Amino acid sequence: MSRIPLIILSADRPDFLLNTGANQTIYQKDIYGSYVRYFSDIGLPEKNLEKLEKNLVKSLKLSMGADIEKPPGPVHLNFPFDEPLLSEKIDYSAFSSFLPLNIVENKNDNISILQKVNKPLVIVGPMEENISQKLIVAFANQINAPLLVDPLSQMRYGFKDKVIISHYDQFVDQIGINPDLIIRFGRKPTSKKLCSLLDKWNSQTVLIDKWKKFNDDSKDFIQSDINNFCQLQIDGIDWTGERDWLYSFIDREKIVEKELNNYTEYSEGSIARICQETLKEGDNFIIGNSMPIRDVDMYTSLTNIKINTYANRGASGIDGVVSTALGVASASQKNSLLLIGDLSFYHDMNGLLSTQNKNRLTIVVINNSGGGIFSFLPIANMGINTFSKYWTTDTGISFKKVAELYNCRYSKSEGLKELKSNIIQSFQSEGTHIIELTIDISENVKLHRNFKKRINSLLKSN
C-alpha cells in the first residue's frame, strides 16, 4: 500500500508433497492474495534459465510501476525445490544481463487546463520521491492556492514559500473553509481532520497521479505524471484565485507558528519538534505510527533545511518500524533519527540484531507505558477499570537492558534540553543509540488539549 518496489522470493516444497503430511509444507501459491502486483510460481529448477529470466524481468518492471493500472509495489515469485537442492553445476554465463531496464513513463498529454475558480486549494500527502516538489510550489503560486503539505510530502522540510502551510491541522476544522477546487498530489494526508474534510469535499477534489486510482476514493482523477500536469497548468492558466483566500491561511499559519515557538512544555509534541529541529541538511527522519506521526504533523514547522522523511504508512501498523529505520540508516551516509513509541519499539525489537552494520541511527523512544494514542479517544473517559490493562498494554520492559542486549548505546533524557544534547552527542559516533524519555499519558493528553484550546482562542480573537 506504500508503493514501495519490493520483490519477494519465497522458497517452497515441490507440489507433489502438498497435503501429504510432509514437514514444513503449506500451500504458498498466491499467499499474498491481491496485495502483490504480480505472482508467479517458477516451478522446479531447470537447466534452461529462459523462464526464470522472463519472470525476473517482468517482476522488476511491475514492482517499479510499469503497468499503468498498478503503481509500484510488491511482487511475489515462488520457488519450489526438491532434494537434493543442488544436483549439478549450472552454467550462469548463459544468463543474459537485463539491467538497466527501461521503465516506460506513463504520460497523458490530453490534460485540460483548469478553469477559473476563486478558492483553490492544493494538498500534498505522503510522497517518497523528491522530483516534483518545486513544480508543485510554482503551480500553487500561479493560482494563489494555499499549499497544505504533509510531513511525509518531502516538502515541509526543505521548502519555505509563502503559499506553503504546515499548521493546517491546528485550524482547518475551525474556520469554515469552503474551497471550490482541491488539487491533490500523493497519498491521503496524515491529518485525520483534513481527511474528514476531504470526504466532505470529494465532489470538488481532483487527484493527480501517474497510475490509475489505487487505494483512494477521490471522485475525480487525472492520470498524469505530476511534473507534466504542473508544467501544463503553469504554461496554460491565465487566472489566479482570490488573494484574501490565500492570506486567510497565511495569517492563521503565523498565529500557530508564533505560539509553537513559545511552546516549552514537556510533552510528546515538543519532543517531536526537538527531534526535527536537531536534524541537519540531508539527514533522515523516520517516524513511527500512532502518536509520533501525528505529533510531527501537528507540532513541527517549515524549514529550508532539507530532511528526508520516512514512515510505514501503508496500513499504518506499528510493526517493522525499527527494521525500516535501520535499513534507511544503512543506506545513507547522513544521520538518521527514529521517533517511536515504546509499544511499537517492542514489536520490532529483534530488528536491532542488524546493528552489527555500521550506521548512524538514533532511536528516540517515547516511553508512555503503552499505546498512548488510545488515551485521546472517548473510551478513555468512560471509567473502564481495565482500560490501562487492555488498551494501553504497558510492556514494562527496561530499555536500558534492551540496549545492552543488542549492543546499542543508551541514554535517558529527563527534559527537552537534555534530549537535544543527547541527540547531538549520539550523532558523533557510528552505531545505534537509544534515547529514552518517560512521559505520563494523562499529563500529555492534558497538555495537548490545553495547547489546542489556546490556539482556538487565538484564532477566534484574530
Q: Give pLDDT tens digits for 253-273.
A: 999 999 999 999 999 999 999
Q: Within a domain: residue 188?
A: yes
The Cα–Cα gap between 100 and 97 comes to: 8
Q: Are 315 and 171 members of one domain?
A: no
Q: Are 172 and 67 members of one domain?
A: no
Q: Are 355 and 320 members of one domain?
A: yes
For residues 183-191, average pLDDT: 95
Q: Are 212 and 275 members of one domain?
A: no
Ranges assigned E (strand) in 110-255:
120-124, 147-149, 164-165, 181-185, 205-209, 220-223
Residue 76 pairs in a beta bridge with 8, 39
Q: Are 209 and 290 members of one domain?
A: no
Does residue 228 contact residue 107 with C-beta atoms inside 8 Å? yes
Structural domain harbouring 23: 6-94
Q: Within a domain: residue 104?
A: no
Using alpha carbons, select from 320, 311, 358 the residue that is nearest to residue 339: 311
Q: Are 291 and 346 members of one domain?
A: yes
The Cα–Cα gap between 346 and 372 comes to: 14
Q: Within a domain: residue 67?
A: yes
Distance of CA 249 to the CA centre of its chain: 25
Q: Are 27 and 128 members of one domain?
A: no
In percent, how much of the chain has pLDDT > 90? 71
| pLDDT in the model for residue 174 | 76
| pLDDT in the model for residue 385 | 77
* Domain boundary, last residue among 94, 128, 143: 94
* Domain boundary, last residue among 258, 278, 300: 258
Tens of pLDDT along 297-327? Answer: 999 999 999 999 999 988 888 889 999 999 9
Q: Within a domain: residue 101?
A: no
Cell of 7: 520483490
* Domain boundary, last residue among 236, 258, 280: 258
Provide the CB-side half-sphere exposure for 413 (13 A, CA).
29
Q: Position of cell 524481468?
A: 57
Q: How confident is the model at residue 374 (pLDDT cuts 50, 70, 90)?
A: confident
Q: Are 311 and 448 members of one domain?
A: yes
User: Domains in the chain: how many in total?
Assistant: 3
Cell of 459: 484564532
84 Cβ contact partners less than 8 Å away, ≥ 6 residues apart = none
| pLDDT in the model for residue 106 | 52
Using alpha carbons, select from 66, 226, 259 the residue that is nearest to residue 132: 226
Here the CATH number for the domain that contains residue 187 is 3.40.50.1220
For residues 168-186, average pLDDT: 91
Q: Are 247 and 268 members of one domain?
A: no
Ranges assigned E (strand) in 125-225:
147-149, 164-165, 181-185, 205-209, 220-223
Q: How many CB atoms lie within 10 A of CB 77?
A: 19
Q: Are 247 and 280 members of one domain?
A: no
Q: Are 289 and 273 members of one domain?
A: yes
The Cα–Cα gap between 115 and 113 comes to: 6
| pLDDT in the model for residue 170 | 94
Using alpha carbons, select from 174, 163, 166, 215 the residue that is nearest to residue 196: 174
| pLDDT in the model for residue 88 | 65
Q: Within a domain: residue 106?
A: no
Residue 206 phi/psi, 5-degree rounding, is -125, 125
| pLDDT in the model for residue 173 | 85
**DSSP classification of residue 58:** H
Residue 39 identity (one-letter amino acid): F
Three-class secondary structure of residue 247 per DSSP = helix
Q: How confident is the model at residue 356 (pLDDT cuts 50, 70, 90)?
A: low
Q: Position of cell 493560482?
A: 143
Using alpha carbons, select from 75, 35, 34, 80 the residue that is nearest to residue 55: 75
Q: How confident is the model at residue 217 (pLDDT cuts 50, 70, 90)?
A: confident
Max distance between CA atoms of the chain, in angstroms, equals: 81
Tens of pLDDT along 91-123? Answer: 666 556 655 555 555 555 578 999 999 999 999
Does residue 279 contact residue 291 with C-beta atoms inside 8 Å? no
As to burial, measured by CB atoms within 10 angstroms (0-12 exposed, 13-18 middle, 19+ buried), residue 75 is buried
Check whether the bond before 378 is cis (ω within 30° of 0). no
In percent, how much of the chain has pLDDT > 70? 94
Q: Is 30 left (phi over 0), alpha (psi -120 to 50) or beta?
A: left
| pLDDT in the model for residue 13 | 93
Q: Are 159 and 136 members of one domain?
A: yes
By DSSP bridging, strand 120-124 and strand 181-185 are: parallel
Q: Within a domain: residue 251?
A: yes
